[in-house]
Structure 1
Amino acid sequence: MTFNFDHWVDRSHTDSVKWHKYRDKDVIPLWVADTDFTSPPCVISALQARVAEGVFGYGFAPPALISLVVARLRERYDWTIKPEWIVWLPGLVCGLNLAVRTCTTPEERSILPSPLYPPFMQAALSEGRRYLAVPAQNVDNRWVTDFKTCESSLEGNEKLLMLCNPYNPGGTVYRREELQAQLDFAQRHDLFVCSDEIHCDLILEPGCEHIPFASLNEDAAQRSITLMSPSKTFNLAGLGASMAIIPNDRLRHKFAHTARGIVPHVNVLAYVAATAAYAEGDSWLQAQLEYLRGNRDLAFARINAMPGLTLLPMEGTYLGWIDASAAELDSPYRFFLAAGVGLSDGRDFGNPQFVRINLGCQRALLEKALDRMAAALAAR
């Protein structure tokens, strides 16, 4: 089957958060992390069939979905899990908050890389908690955090290491030795590890592979909470089907208890979409990856040719992290917004001299946005 990722769906006057932000304005929205691609046909067909039943009562995770997840992790990532390790969630962000509340008290700290997807910091600050941010560095054109550099800043009350792989923002796909260094750090300081791996299926660079942190060894598994979802992979974010995979029985029970009465169950349509995507969506996924590689290569060439901007190679995700510090702009976000391009403000991620760009859109729209950015910089 041929999939057309150039097909345009007008979301400008729908309930799309991404497009509503700049409704009735001449601004191209390349910010929040959903794509403008039509979801896989198998997902749409499965949802249409389920809607035709006409009853939407409480549901549970279908055994077929659980089997698909177990098989997928074994076949794609060489990670063997047990079905009972899975805790289903209506979104990954609530998983971040549950991980913080499960693994720390208000008097204890989390450790996380910086910059980082803003909900990490928001979760780490819940109920008066604090966190230690460890700057990522450009190492051989990859954004990498060496947690050894923060050891002199530790207070002894750190309990949770929060990771993001592939890295958002920046697109780094961690190598095994880098994950092992993260595990060594967690072992030295007796830390739990929450690893956000929501972009694990979106590996763009040939030769790179996603390695789940928990798959390193039994110690890594027993101290870990791994967050995954089909949402970014298959553009299902608005449906809300995510999972926490927690091998440690005691940790998993505490996590589930923390969610009780606060976090709602996953809705039945989300389960239907996830099942269809995992069962029949991989040919669509491969076509999407090829299209995203084309967008990435276009953005990399164009942005690095613009004065004052630098975009490091993206190994995974569809989210580019643009360094605008050499352009000497008061606010890169506001500058490009005035030019008609709505990017994510780096201030929210931890560095106001950066902006994040979402490349999950039709190529013609991306080209138009890049043209606007180049013209604005040339006209200064």
Structure 2
Amino acid sequence: MTSDLFDNPPNRRGSDSLKWGRYSDPDTIPLWVADMDFPSAPAILKALHQRVDHGVFGYALATDQLNAAVVHWLQQRYSWDIDPEWLVWLPGLVPALHAACQGCCEPHQEVLTFSPVYPPFLAAPATCRRPHRDIPLTRIAGRYTFDLDRLDHEITKDTRLLLLCHPHNPVGRAFERRELLALAEKCLERDLIICSDEIHCDLVLNGTAHLPFASLSAEVADRTITLMSAAKTFNIAGLNCGFAIISNPQLRQRFIQAGHGMIPHPNALGYAATQAAYQHGEPWRQQLLTYLRGNHQLLLDTLRHDLPMLTMDPVEATYLAWIDVSQLEDHSPKFFEQAGLGFSDGQPFADNSHIRLNFGCSRATLQQALEKLRLAIYGERKI
């Protein structure tokens, strides 16, 4: 049943797809930008059809029913009780990174983030003309984690904001309670505001439970902006709908004010899809996670057994694999594109020794991509 849902996705080539429209060569398989090839959950499609049938598409606002759906989802999934008044609806989470930089920092105040990281984390401070520095994640026992000693060293009297990616894109970590508590303690000690992008929170693959950073304590919540969305999990990124959760009313007002006149409201279809996702999408999400785990295992096994010069950590969350390609003589984007493979290059993430591979695709597409990768490296078809 699960395979039937995801093995035969629609053909997106020649459509309006950003992902599939990037490469002119029809034989190139795009495994780059973080959207999946799967149709959204049937409940979402039904809700969208009903909203379209309404026929009027004026400016829209989040309804009480939508807010209640978010509150219920967070309570059920994460035992996190929030007040609907804490919600700030957004047309996406990238604009929220800019609003956080603008609203939380004076022009001389500094923004920190851990790298490698999703490129807008590196771009937003510069766009807002705020000083920025990135702190490399460290590896302990084969896993990326926070380098708290380096963080403590890098913080100055002008450091104000930490941009946190949790779960982490691109390294695929689902950070554990002990790691988050240690980071929170450092942030409290050094008086930092935290903007925690948790858009991949519903895509944990390793069987653990996501822990919202703001749920660690009331004191942590008081200085945290949490960013979430149904977009990645339910493959509705093109509908441009997400939200911030900010319990501190002063911080919430500064965030809203920073985006005033710049960040529009979400659209009516985004609201409808998000409500349907949180009210009726859980069965589909569970089937998706099962399928993604199968793709992840195929990728992990292939690299370990057939392509040992390429290494990756097990992906704990997201559908994005962070692959070390440094042992290849040529690991430029051009090399992979000539092989018919469209990956995300590591350079914009602040690490040019890796590529990011999106395995949110059919199993057959992933198998075809891995065969292309074998051919590119070995120069002949594997028997």
- State the TM-score bracket (shorter-chain normalisation): over 0.9
SS in structure 1 at match of 2:350: coil
SS in structure 2 at match of 1:325: coil
Residues 98 and 128 in structure 2, CA contact (< 8 A), matched pair in contact too: no
After TM superposition, the score normalised by the length of structure 2 is 0.96
Percent identity among equivalent residues? 45
Residues 307 and 327 in structure 1, CA contact (< 8 A), matched pair in contact too: no
Structure 1 residue 299 and structure 2 residue 299: aligned?
A: yes
> Counterparts of 1:297 and 1:348 in 2: how far apart (Å)?
27
Structure 1 residue 236 and structure 2 residue 236: aligned?
A: yes
Residues 146 and 179 in structure 2, CA contact (< 8 A), matched pair in contact too: no
- Amino acid paired to 1:237: A
SS in structure 2 at match of 1:160: strand
Shift of 1:291: 0.1
Shift of 1:379: 2.5
- Amino acid paired to 1:313: P
Partner of 2:189: 188
Residues 195 and 227 in structure 2, CA contact (< 8 A), matched pair in contact too: yes
> Counterparts of 1:312 and 1:205 in 2: how far apart (Å)?
12
* Cα offsets for 1:35-88 (capped at 9, x unmatched): 000100111111111111111011110111100111111111111110000000
After TM superposition, the score normalised by the length of structure 1 is 0.97
Shift of 1:247: 0.5
Shift of 1:145: 1.8
> Counterparts of 1:229 and 1:148 in 2: how far apart (Å)?
32
Partner of 1:261: 261
Partner of 1:78: 79
Q: How does 1:141-290 map to 2 (within 5 A)?
A: 141-206=142-207, 208-290=208-290
SS in structure 1 at match of 2:233: helix
- Residues 263-272 or 149-158, more deviating: 149-158
- Amino acid paired to 1:318: Y
Partner of 1:100: 101
Shift of 1:24: 4.0
Residues 141 and 313 in structure 1, CA contact (< 8 A), matched pair in contact too: no
Shift of 1:227: 0.2
> Counterparts of 1:266 and 1:128 in 2: how far apart (Å)?
26
Partner of 1:66: 67
- Amino acid paired to 2:183: Q
Residues 90 and 266 in structure 1, CA contact (< 8 A), matched pair in contact too: yes
Residues 332 and 353 in structure 1, CA contact (< 8 A), matched pair in contact too: no
Partner of 1:10: 11
SS in structure 1 at match of 2:80: coil
> Counterparts of 1:128 and 1:275 in 2: how far apart (Å)?
36
Shift of 1:147: 2.7
> Counterparts of 1:52 and 1:75 in 2: how far apart (Å)?
31
Moved over 3 A (4+): none
SS in structure 2 at match of 1:374: helix
Structure 1 residue 126 and structure 2 residue 122: aligned?
A: no
- Amino acid paired to 2:29: I
Partner of 2:56: 55
> Counterparts of 2:90 and 2:199 in 1: how far apart (Å)?
13
> Counterparts of 1:378 and 1:154 in 2: how far apart (Å)?
46
> Counterparts of 1:66 and 1:21 in 2: how far apart (Å)?
36
> Counterparts of 1:192 and 1:127 in 2: how far apart (Å)?
17
Shift of 1:140: 2.2
> Counterparts of 1:311 and 1:333 in 2: how far apart (Å)?
18
Residues 173 and 316 in structure 1, CA contact (< 8 A), matched pair in contact too: yes
Q: How does 1:28-43 map to 2 (within 5 A)?
A: 28-43=29-44
- Residues 370-379 or 357-366, more deviating: 370-379
> Counterparts of 2:311 and 2:334 in 1: how far apart (Å)?
18
Residues 165 and 195 in structure 1, CA contact (< 8 A), matched pair in contact too: yes
Shift of 1:148: 2.1
- Residues 107-116 or 320-329, more deviating: 320-329
Residues 80 and 215 in structure 2, CA contact (< 8 A), matched pair in contact too: yes
- Amino acid paired to 1:99: A
- Residues 213-222 or 118-127, more deviating: 118-127
> Counterparts of 1:177 and 1:258 in 2: how far apart (Å)?
33
Shift of 1:92: 0.7
> Counterparts of 1:64 and 1:257 in 2: how far apart (Å)?
25
> Counterparts of 1:121 and 1:368 in 2: how far apart (Å)?
33
SS in structure 1 at match of 2:195: strand
- Amino acid paired to 1:137: T
Partner of 1:346: 346
- Amino acid paired to 2:246: I
> Counterparts of 1:281 and 1:97 in 2: how far apart (Å)?
30
- Amino acid paired to 2:293: R
> Counterparts of 1:236 and 1:277 in 2: how far apart (Å)?
10
Instruction: Output the aligned Cα RMSD.
Output: 1.4
> Counterparts of 1:184 and 1:109 in 2: how far apart (Å)?
19
- Residues 195-204 or 119-128, more deviating: 119-128
> Counterparts of 1:273 and 1:233 in 2: how far apart (Å)?
12
SS in structure 1 at match of 2:232: helix
> Counterparts of 1:66 and 1:344 in 2: how far apart (Å)?
35
